[in-house]
């Protein structure tokens, strides 16, 4: 209640990019199979470490916001290593830094045991923001928080291959949803809930009074 999506890309969008052999920002588009089911996304998979590979800029709304990123950690059979995913906020054309001077926040996944078959492991990162303070989590586990320089006008997602051995690893993003919190709608919904409760209270009181009145004995005139 109150959350409204203002930006969303999903597997249908990435499928279109893949079929057109187009990139999403600097990220490659992919088709991959997990347990016999085809999936589409964008990111970076390879046999060598990379710098941060970035998405296009995405508008950021003022107020309370939330960004949800669904992605797969990919590893070919026999591969080990580390891959990372993060978010970079911008204040107009400059990156917005935190108290320690960092402008990228996210998570690193480690593949310490090589899979016997090509494997895609699903994850979700959620980044919540209010008053320029962000918190981020992966699969429900909070990883950190930071206060960024204002104003936050846009953001990019980024992926990187940190270490790799044996064969290809990487991260492929399959869905991104950016939302803002509609406080007015939330207030209206809360007000309507209160009104509904009050209506039922008034009806209940009226019914009780009618029942009491119906059973109340009437006075009889005294005999002459």
Q: What is the pLDDT of residues 110-149, one digit of tens each?
A: 999 999 999 999 999 999 999 999 999 999 999 999 999 9
pLDDT for 223: 47
pTM of the complete model: 0.82
Question: What's the topology of domain 3-181?
Answer: Jelly Rolls (2.60.120)
pLDDT for 220: 47
What is d(CA 148, CA 174) in angstroms, rounded to the nearest whole number?
A: 27
What is d(CA 163, CA 222) in angstroms, rounded to the nearest whole number?
A: 103
- In the chain, count H helices and then E strands: 2, 14
pLDDT for 210: 66
What is d(CA 60, CA 132) in angstroms, rounded to the nearest whole number?
A: 11
- In the chain, where the domains are located: 3-181, 183-214
What SS3 class is residue 191? helix
The C-alpha torsion from 74 through 108 and 164 to 16, rounded to 10°, is 40
Q: Give yes or no for residue 150 having a pLDDT over 90.
A: yes
Residue range 8-13: mean pLDDT, rounded: 98
The C-alpha torsion from 173 through 49 and 139 to 142, rounded to 10°, is -120
What is d(CA 142, CA 109) in angstroms, rounded to the nearest whole number?
A: 15
What is d(CA 130, CA 189) in angstroms, rounded to the nearest whole number?
A: 21
User: How many angstroms separate the Cα of 212 from the Cα of each of 8, 71, 112, 215?
Assistant: 58, 63, 75, 5
Percent of the chain with pLDDT over 70: 81
pLDDT band, very low/low/confident/very high, at 197 (cuts 50, 70, 90): low
Instruction: Compare 168 and 193 and report the one with higher pLDDT.
Output: 168
pLDDT tens, 159-182? 999 999 999 999 999 999 999 999
Tokens 């209160």 belong to residue: 194
pLDDT tens, 21-51? 999 999 999 999 999 999 999 999 999 999 9
What is d(CA 83, CA 49) in angstroms, rounded to the nearest whole number?
A: 9
């Amino acid at each position: 209640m109150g959350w409204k999506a203002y930006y969303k890309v999903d597997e249908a969008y990435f499928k279109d990019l893949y079929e057109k052999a187009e990139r999403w920002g600097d990220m490659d588009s992919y088709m991959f199979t997990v347990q016999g089911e085809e999936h589409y996304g964008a990111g970076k998979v390879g046999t060598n470490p990379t710098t941060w590979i970035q998405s296009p800029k995405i508008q950021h709304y003022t107020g309370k916001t939330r960004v949800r990123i669904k992605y797969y950690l990919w590893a070919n059979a026999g591969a080990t290593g580390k891959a990372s995913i993060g978010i970079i906020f911008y204040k107009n054309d400059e990156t917005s830094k935190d108290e320690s001077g960092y402008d990228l926040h996210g998570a690193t996944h480690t593949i310490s045991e090589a899979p016997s078959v090509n494997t895609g492991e699903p994850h979700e990162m959620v980044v919540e923001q209010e008053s320029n303070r962000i918190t981020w989590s992966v699969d429900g586990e909070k990883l950190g928080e930071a206060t960024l320089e204002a104003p936050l006008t846009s953001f990019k997602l980024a992926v990187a291959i940190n270490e790799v051995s044996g064969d290809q690893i990487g991260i492929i993003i399959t869905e991104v949803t950016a939302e803002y919190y509609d406080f007015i709608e939330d207030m209206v919904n809360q007000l309507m809930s209160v009104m509904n409760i009050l209506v039922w209270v008034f009806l209940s009181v009226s019914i009780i009074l009618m029942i009491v009145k119906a059973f109340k004995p009437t006075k009889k005139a005294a005999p002459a």
